[in-house]
Amino acid sequence: MEQQVFQNATVIKQTGSLYRLTFLPIWDPFTAVLSGKLRLKGDKLTNPVAVGDKVNGFRQTTDNSKENHAVITEILPRKNYLIRKSVNLSRQAHIIAANIDWAYILLSATEPETPFPFIDRFLVTCQAYRVPVTLIINKTDELQWATDYIARITHTRDIYQKAGYHVMEVSAKTGEGTAELAKQLKNKISLFSGISGVGKSSLANKLDPSLHLKTAQISRAHLTGKHTTTFYEMHPLQSGGYIVDSPGIRGFGLLEITKEELSHYFPEIFAVSSGCRFNGCLHAEEPDCAVREAVEKGLIPAERYESYLKMLEDPDGGKYRT
């Protein structure tokens, strides 16, 4: 039996206890398991190793078989990661992805409508973990006939642009706006997030038709079948870069963010908070709160302030059906 050490492989997928790895920028995935030592680390985490992680390990080749058996022994320090409360085991945390260069949250210009608290929990998480984030409004082609939706999506776009976020508009159907997006994705590992049905898979397929990701019509037919627990997966794009896609996000329980810190991750709330009378003002019931005044004057959108209050009261909440 031969043992061959490897270094700096990237995790591109996890299915149960099996991991797929490749040596970026080469796309030649192989399967690996975790060493016993790393499995123990999963005490507080449902997954000690996440998609995007850089890992070291070794591969074993037996003489009479070409079968490779690879073991991950070490996780390299993370540049960043996104984490949320585990859906099933509330005391555990789940790392969504590690070493993300850019995160995108997709919204639909029409249906389905993403609740503001979902958007805001994602933005806060990105902000808190120092992952740059951009909003993408998809299905803009439908606004031609679904004119009832124009006011709503314009309002949504305004809210986030005024808060300082970059908002892009695309149509996965017609390809409008996707060339600009492809440029931004180049040479980066990007995370695509958003509730089910907003068009994450369709957009990925439009960016790279060779991906053949399942879209709604197909995956709905699968719902009656057995569920595999594939969460996040990295895909290479022909135009350059990699996207990490997920089959559906249920929501984000905030972790490791204190009540005092929370407003720091709402740029437009934070901007006015220096005017509050009290230093540790949480902008809830306190007198002479500059944030509440700004909300009353319409300078801070009520939707954002409501999201903020919800998160303050219920950091674990925000679970949405996918």
Q: What is the C-alpha separation between 303 and 7, in angstroms, rounded? A: 47
Decide: 34 and 19 in contact? Cβ < 8 Å.
yes
Helix, strand and coil percent figures for the chain, each rounded to 5: 30, 25, 40
The stretch near ligand GDP (CB under 6 A) out of 26-34, 76-84, 121-129, 138-146 is: 138-146
Task: Spell out the residues 6+ positions from residue 298 whose beta carbon is closer than 8 angstroms to its own.
Answer: none
Residue 283 binds ligand GDP, judged by CB under 6 A: no
Query: Out of 86, 92, 215, 239, which residue is the one contacting ligand GDP (CB under 6 A)?
Result: 215
Query: Out of 197, 236, 241, 318, which residue is the one contacting ligand GDP (CB under 6 A)?
Result: 197
Query: Out of 150, 216, 221, 284, which residue is the one contacting ligand GDP (CB under 6 A)?
Result: 216
Query: Out of 142, 293, 303, 306, which residue is the one contacting ligand GDP (CB under 6 A)?
Result: 142
Q: Of 196 and 263, which CB lies nearer to ligand GDP in the complex structure? A: 196
Q: Of 234 and 281, which CB lies nearer to ligand GDP in the complex structure? A: 234
Decide: 253 and 319 in contact? Cβ < 8 Å.
yes
Q: Of 172 and 300, which CB lies nearer to ligand GDP in the complex structure? A: 172
Query: Out of 69, 173, 188, 310, which residue is the one contacting ligand GDP (CB under 6 A)?
Result: 173
Residue 157 binds Zn ion, judged by CB under 5 A: no
Site string for Zn ion, 227-266 (x = CB under 5 A): ----------------------------------------
Residue 295 binds Zn ion, judged by CB under 5 A: no
Query: Out of 11, 128, 198, 300, which residue is the one contacting ligand GDP (CB under 6 A)?
Result: 198
Residue 172 binds ligand GDP, judged by CB under 6 A: yes
Query: Out of 291, 295, 300, 311, which residue is the one contacting Zn ion (CB under 5 A)?
Result: 291
CA distances 280 to 135, 242, 261, Å, are 30, 41, 10
Residue 194 binds ligand GDP, judged by CB under 6 A: yes
Among ligand GDP, Zn ion, none, the one that 199 touches (CB under a kind-dependent 5 to 8 A) is: ligand GDP
Decide: 289 and 277 in contact? Cβ < 8 Å.
yes
Q: Helix, strand or coil for residue 126?
A: helix
Amino acid letter at 97?
Answer: A
Q: Where are the beta strands (DSSP E) in the chain?
A: 2-15, 18-22, 30-34, 54-61, 68-75, 81-85, 93-98, 102-108, 133-138, 166-169, 189-193, 230-236, 242-245
Looking at residues 87 to 126 of the shown chain, list those that interact with ligand GDP (rule: CB under 6 A): none
Shortest Cβ distance from residue 286 to Zn ion (Å)? 6
Q: Helix, strand or coil for residue 190?
A: strand
Nearest to 145 by CA among 179, 119, 109: 109
> Cα angle at 121 between 219 and 201, to 5 degrees?
25
Q: Of 113 and 286, which CB lies nearer to ligand GDP in the complex structure? A: 113
Q: Of 41 and 214, which CB lies nearer to ligand GDP in the complex structure? A: 214
Q: Of 55 and 198, which CB lies nearer to ligand GDP in the complex structure? A: 198
On the question of a cis peptide bond just before residue 115, with omega within 30 degrees of 0, the verdict is no
Site string for Zn ion, 270-289 (x = CB under 5 A): ------x----x-x-----x
